[in-house]
Structures are given as structure tokens and as C-alpha cells.
Amino acid sequence: GAPDALDDSSPPHPTPVHAAPQPKAESPVELLLPDSKQHPNLCIDQHGLVYLIDDSKGNPRLLRVGSPELNALIATEIGKRRNTPSKFAIEAVNDDLKAKAHAEPKYVRTFVRVAPCLPLGVEIDLGDAERTRVRITPGKVETINSGSEALFVSGPLADEMVRPTSDGDVKLLKRYLAFDWESFYLAVGWVTYTLAHPKIDGSKYVVLALQGGQGTGKSFVCTVLSKLVDPCKISGRALPNNPRDLGIAAAGSHLLVFDNVRHISPAMSDTFCLASTGGSIAQRKLYTDNAEQVLNLHVATIINGIYSFIDQPDLAQRTLFIRLEPFKEADRRPEAELRQQLVKDLPKIMRGLIDLIATVFAHLPDVSPTNPSRMIEFSRWLAALERATNMPADTLQHAYLESIDEGQLESLLDNPLAAEILAFVEQCDDWEGTPANLLDKLNESASLAMQRAREWPHTPIALSKRLRTLQAPLLSQGIDVQFSRGKNRTITITKRGATQ
């Protein structure tokens, strides 16, 4: 039935008490993103990483979502609300940021240390607290404290770059390098070229190989060059054992330095070739699933060692070889003293290099390499550098080709088959026959230890395959190897003048 009506004795319903409206507490996300509806400060880069753009002062700064730097900022904001910045709370904010970024994606291109400035030029990120950039265009150098549109990222080991002075002097660099003057200007060419080429499609980096015995200051030279191109908190690294490790190191660096290398395996030689010209490798994300992750391999490299460590011709063709000579006793100075002087000289050296890049940019459209190498972009840069420094044409280009020739010869001598071909051609200038005939001839003179070597071909088919990979480096030493296809396959070996 119907409920009994309330009589006068029934207690009245309590009058609801309405609390004063409280302002809604801002979440850390709302503080990090003041405009939460359109969130223009979130972006996704070419590698699929989400960043928060901090444009609160000067040039923009990127904070990767999930990075320790941004996590510390999120923890601070959570702490301001007297809440515990737990791991789960921080992860929740990061997840929220990623969701917002993907809901209305803003795709951008990020750069490491060097960004392009169209139509011809670059911006260099000094990596300092003021977010300073240096813009270099043909004949012009500018310091940019605000207004830059380039978005830079850096790895955890990246260090601050020296701020250049108003006037520079490249020749001050010579006192820290045990090079002759020709090698010195080749090194200057390598530094300026590497600084002037951001990691974009089409950019190719020449591997710098420094070889010298004890007392030549290899590690110190690498430290000096690293400070000029891409300063790092560690002076040198051990050679990675696999492409994955190289790819991870390359992601946040414009330059990697590998110290005291004794040998580079054929597989890692191929990886360095890929890093020189730009490429990607795929790997499994986790061992528990089949998902793949792409690592981009594109980075400039310096490798130093006492012994000849590049024995693969393909890598040798992408390398600038410079031999370091021991310092004369009269020129020796304690390294601590050199480092102190270097701190004083670096700003002027840096300005000299930057001014030189601006001058090379001005000449670059009007030059052509006289004798281009495989790394034709670097040959062209050297041609413009010759003009910028009033050198006779072909001076540096010729020195570079000689460097490649010498490096390829060393790589050939370290290859058992190539070394035996070189010795064989010394006995007979021209030869023609089948692969089986050639293998018999080579086995006659090759030692038993050489024939047992892993690189030695044991069948005519294996000989033909391995000889094809040696065609270009053998040609650089004046040995032309040709293959004819027909009923009877033949190999023709002709001795002629060396060529690049």
C-alpha cells in the first residue's frame, strides 16, 4: 500500500547543507599544458617519439615524454599539491600526455646538434642553458637567442658547445694536432664538412680514421675534435659489438668517437658503412613478442688506434685516413697544460671554423671536384675549401685521394686473397684464364697458413664471388679485374695506372 503520511510527530528531513564550491585543482598535465583543449605544445617527431615543447623563454626546448628530465618536472608539480610523486602517478601523467599528443597529432622533424637552414645553411645548437643557436649561411654568421624554429634533441651524454668569440683563428687548432700542414687542412675540411651537414636524407659522413703509435696523442686529438663538432661527457667509447648498440648511441649524437680500436669485424664494417651514408636496421622490441623496432643508423664517426684497423675495402672508400706523428721532444707539453690552454683557445678556434663554413657555403654552388671520390660531397666541399683559403686547386682533393689510396692498399694487404693477387700481378702484368686456373695459380704461391685462412676461397665459385668485391679497391691500385660470361667463364687481370 501507499506509505503512511508523515504526521506532526515525524522528524523533519534534515535540510541539506551546500558546501561552498571549491576551485578545481589543476592536474600536472594542465600545468604543463595550459591550453588543454588544443595543446599546441605537444608534438610527435619522425621517430614516433612524443615531446613537450617548452617555449617559455628564448628558443624552444624539447622535453621527451617519459624522459628523466620531464619526469622530474612532473614529480615537482605533483609535489606542489602535497601529493606523493609515485612512479605510478608519474607514469599516468606520461600516458595522458601521449594520449593527448596522438589524439590531435602535430608531426615535426627533430635534429641532433645541427639542423638545416634553407636554402643553404645550418643552425648549430650550442646546448647551453640560454638555448643559443648559431646560424650559418653563405657569407654570414648570426647568434640566435630567440625566434629559431629548429627543434633539437640530445642524448644523455651530450655536453655544452663552446660559445664562439667575435673574431676567430683556425690556425690556433694546429698546436693541438700532431699533423703536417696538409693533414691539418684535411682535418679542418672534415670538421667543417661534418658541422655543415645535419642528419637528413642524402647527408653522407666521411669516417675519420686516426692511426698512430704511443706518444702521438690520439685520444687527446679526438677530444679536441669532439669538442668542436659534438661535445660529449665521455671522451671516447669502446667499439660496439653489434649494430643495435651503434644505433642506440647514434640516436642522440651527431658524432661518435671510438678509442683504441684494434680490429673491426666485416659485419661491423658493413654497419659503419651504413651509418656513414644513412640507413636503418630492424630488431625485435621484446623477446616475448614478434613486434619490430626500427633503429636509424646515421652518424659521423672518428676511430683511432695504433694498428691498421680498417681492412674492408668498402669502409676504406668512405674513410679519411690521417697518420699522427709523435710530437718532437722540444714540442712536448703536459696534457693538463694543453687542456688549460685549449679552454682559452677554443672560442677563437670555433669562430674561425664557423666563419670558414660561411665562406665555403658562398663558394659551394660554383665549384666542381676535379677528381671526385666515392664520397663526392666531401670532394666538392674540399674544392670549395681550397677556394675559400686561396689554395691552389686540387691541393686538398689530391691529398684526400692519396689518403683513400693508401687506406685501400692497407685494407688489401690485410686481406689474404687481395694480398696474393697483388703479389701475383707483380710476376705477370696481364693474365687470362678460368676461375679454376686462377685458384690453382694462387694456391701454388700461397702459404699453407694463408690457404687455411677463413677469408681464403676454396672453390672457383668462391674465388669469383670474393674477387668481385675486390674489383674497386684493386682498380685503385692499378689492377683491373674483369669477368666474362659465356660458355667458358674467364677472368682477365690487367695491370695499369692507379685510378680512383
Helix, strand, coil abundance in the chain, percent, nearest 5: 40, 15, 40
Highest mean pLDDT among 303-312, 378-387, 468-477: 378-387
Q: What does the pLDDT read at residue 27? A: 55
Q: What does the pLDDT read at residue 455? A: 79
Q: What is the DSSP letter of 174?
A: G
Q: What is the mean pLDDT of residues 337-361?
A: 96
CB 324 within 8 A of CB 211: yes
Amino acid occupying residue 254: H
Q: Which of 2-6, 189-193, 389-393 has the lowest mean pLDDT?
A: 2-6
Please provide the DSSP assignment of 362-427 as one string: HHGGG---SS--SSHHHHHHHHHHHHHTTPPTTHHHHHHHHHHHHHHHHHHHTSHHHHHHHHHHHH
Of residues 405 and 283, the one with the higher pLDDT is: 405
Q: What is the mean pLDDT of residues 7-13?
A: 47
Q: What is the mean pLDDT of residues 165-182?
A: 92
Highest mean pLDDT among 36-50, 172-186, 407-421: 172-186
Q: What does the pLDDT read at residue 197? A: 97
CB 134 within 8 A of CB 319: no
Question: CA–CA separation, 261 vs 304, rounded Å?
Answer: 6
Per-residue pLDDT at 205 exceeds 90: yes
Secondary element (H or E) of residue 355: helix 335-363
CB 442 within 8 A of CB 459: no
Q: What does the pLDDT read at residue 295? A: 80
Secondary element (H or E) of residue 143: strand 140-144
Per-residue pLDDT reduced to its tens digit, 366-375:
999 998 888 9
Of residues 217 and 97, the one with the higher pLDDT is: 97
pLDDT confidence of 146, banded at 50, 70, 90?
very high
Q: What is the mean pLDDT of residues 240-253?
A: 91
Q: What does the pLDDT read at residue 17? A: 47
Per-residue pLDDT at 5 exceeds 70: no
Of residues 388 and 285, the one with the higher pLDDT is: 388
Q: What is the mean pLDDT of residues 249-273?
A: 93
Q: What is the mean pLDDT of residues 186-199?
A: 98
Q: What does the pLDDT read at residue 22? A: 43
Q: What is the mean pLDDT of residues 15-42?
A: 54
Q: What is the mean pLDDT of residues 248-263?
A: 93
Per-residue pLDDT at 6 exceeds 60: no
Which residues make beta-bridge pairs with 211? 305, 323
Amino acid occupying residue 352: G
Q: What is the mean pLDDT of residues 327-351?
A: 87
Per-residue pLDDT at 30 exceeds 80: no
Q: What is the mean pLDDT of residues 128-151?
A: 96
CB 297 within 8 A of CB 275: yes
Q: How far is CA 211 from CA 208, 216, 310, 322, 425, in A?
A: 10, 9, 10, 6, 29
Q: How far is CA 201 from CA 195, 297, 496, in A?
A: 16, 12, 37
Q: What does the pLDDT read at residue 331? A: 67
Q: What does the pLDDT read at residue 288? A: 43
Question: CA–CA separation, 359 vs 120, rounded Å?
Answer: 12
Q: What is the mean pLDDT of residues 336-357?
A: 95
Q: What is the mean pLDDT of residues 472-488?
A: 82
